[in-house]
Amino acid sequence: MAPKKAPEIMYCENRFCAGCGHSIFDRILGEVLTEMDIVGDTIMCSDIGCNHQFQFCMNVDTIVPPHGKMGAALTAQKKVRPDKYAITIAGDGGAYAIGLGETMSAATRNDNVTFFVMNNTVYAMTGGQMAPTTQPGQKTASTPAGRLASMNGEDFDVFNVMRSLDIAYLARTSITNPANIARTKKMVRKAIEKQRDNKGFSLVEVLVPCPTNWGLSPVDAMKHIDNVIAPRYEMGEVIDK
């Protein structure tokens, strides 16, 4: 079978590590933007971190505010150019730690913007330190003995804090196998359609592997999501208005 050709928006090879989940997600988003024929109607808002490297391989207009401030920037984007899609690919540290205030404020305003949050359980670009999403007991560069609830609190679950909000769409997915990739692609499209239909705020969290910082092979990192991480969370759609 001939490999499926990447859409034109993916204009060069990506810069991610082997087995990184970001590259898979970026390809999914590139396909959805292309299939919806909205590449030219989209202005991406980048986070700072591994996630931001989409800007070096995707031909889509992009702005890059400081780390985590996508909630604020997207809000302004959508007001200034309401005819353009305002979308971010965020990191879990950006969206849930340094930018949690901005993320929540955009959600509580039910701004008509779209968040895709890559949850790889660590700050990957800086060398794998603890993120809000780091798992209990998980060893990271800043939790050498493993994350302890007594020291670091419980891992962050976005469903717990957003479930009761008046927002358009909230979902969690992963990209660990073809079925999950297809499911993720549907959710990505749905989230963007919410914005198209002026429904309001949408957020899709994507569980993605970080083989480099997890110290696992790409295949084992995928298995780790399926066997260890995903079972700890509610998966799928919890808000769909």
Partner 1 sequence: METMLIKGNEALAEGAVRGGCRFYAGYPITPQSEILEWMAWRQPEVDGTFIQGESEIASVNMTFAARALGARALTSTSGPGFSLYQEGIAYWVSAGMPAVVACVQRFGIGDGFIGAGQDNYWQAVKGGGNGDYHLITLAPNSVQENMDMAYESFELAEKWMHPVLILSDATIGQMVEPCSVPPMKEYDMDQPWACKGVAPGEDHKVITDITYFEDLDEWNAGYIKKMRKIMDEEQRWESIEVEDADVVLVAYGISSRVGEGAVREARKQGIKLGLIRPITLWPYPRKAFAEIPDTCKGLVTIEMSMMGQMREDVIIASKSKFPTYAIATAQRVAAVDQVIDFARKVISGEAEEEEVF
Ranges within 41-60 binding partner 1 (CB under 8 A) = 41-43, 45-46, 55, 58-60
Which two tokens mark 217?
Answer: 């092979």
Four-point Cα dihedral 86, 92, 96, 97, nearest 10 = -120
The continuous run of DSSP H or E covering 93 comes out as helix 92-93
Buried b (16+ CB within 10 A) or exposed e, 103-118: bbebbebbbbbbbbbb
User: Does the footprint of partner 1 cover residue 161 (CB under 8 A)?
Assistant: no
The continuous run of DSSP H or E covering 70 comes out as helix 70-80
Q: Which of 50, 72, 188, 192 binds partner 1 (CB under 8 A)?
A: 72
Which two tokens mark 35?
Answer: 């299939």
Give yes or no for a contact between 208 and 20, defined as CB atoms under 8 angstroms apart: yes
Give yes or no for a contact between 170 and 163, defined as CB atoms under 8 angstroms apart: yes
Give the interface segment with partner 1, choosing from 18-26, 39-47, 146-154, 222-230 (CB under 8 A).
39-47
Binding mask 80-109 for partner 1 (x = CB under 8 A): xx--x----------------xx--x----
User: Does the footprint of partner 1 cover residue 12 (CB under 8 A)?
Assistant: no
Give the interface segment with partner 1, choosing from 74-82, 137-145, 168-176, 217-225 (CB under 8 A).
74-82
Give the interface segment with partner 1, choosing from 22-30, 76-84, 185-193, 217-225 (CB under 8 A).
76-84
Task: Kindly state the smallest distance separating residue 22's Cβ from partner 1, in Å.
Answer: 17
Q: Which of 40, 136, 137, 153 binds partner 1 (CB under 8 A)?
A: 40
User: Does the footprint of partner 1 cover residue 165 (CB under 8 A)?
Assistant: no
